[in-house]
Amino acid sequence: MTRPWSYRGISHGMIVVALLAVPIQAAAQPSSAAACSGCHAPVNDGPVPGLIGRPAGEIVTAMAAFRAGERTATVMDRIAKGYSDEEINAIAQWYAAQGQPAGNP
């Protein structure tokens, strides 16, 4: 029978594609961090600071200050209150791992 054989052939091709795709998937932004990129651009060139490549500790400290109302804010004080330490940590870790942002001042 030729049919199963040809299917096996195709599936080998697919395996290669899938393996190549793995590193891309690992680098994909976690869903929880996706919310941030509505305002925080990957390029650090606007009035809203970029987060990519920023040290995790810096993000965690800033979020804690926003949440406690200890840092002047327009909306971040209102948004930070919706996130737990754990969630903030995960987001901060991911951004920190993204290397250097383009146009970091």
Partner 1 sequence: MPSRSGTRRKASRRAILKSALAGIATLAAPPVLGQAKAHVIVIGGGFAGATCARRLKAADGTIAVTLVEPNARFTACPFSNAVIAGLRPIEAQYFGYDGVKQAGVDIAGQIVVAIEAEARQVHFADGARLDYQRLVLAPGIDIRFDALPGYDQTAAEIMPHAWKAGAQTLLLRRQLEAMADGGVVVLSAPANPFRCPPGPYERASLIAYYLKTKKPRSKLILLDAKDTFSKQRLFEAAWKTLYPGLIEWVPLSGGGRVIEIDAKTRTLVTEFGSHLADVANVIPPQRAGAVAIAAGVADQTGWCPIDPHTFESKLVPNIHVIGDAAIAGAMPKSAFAANAQAKVCADMIASLIRGEDPREVKLINTCYSLVAPDYGISVAGVYAPRDGLLTEIKEAGGVSPLEAPAAQREAEATYAQAWFQTITREVFG
Q: Based on CB atoms, which residue is closest to partner 1, 5 or 100?
A: 5
Of residues 23 through 42, those in contact with partner 1 by CB under 8 A are 24-25, 28-29, 31-32, 34-41
Of residues 44 through 103, those in contact with partner 1 by CB under 8 A are 46-48, 74-75, 78-83, 87
Q: Based on CB atoms, which residue is closest to partner 1, 80 or 96?
A: 80
Amino acid (1-letter code) at residue 70 = E
* Alpha carbons 8 and 31: distance in angstroms, whole number: 35
89 CB contacts (<8 Å, ≥6 apart)?
A: 56, 60
DSSP 54: -
Under the binding rule (CB under 8 A), the answer on residue 2 touching partner 1 is no
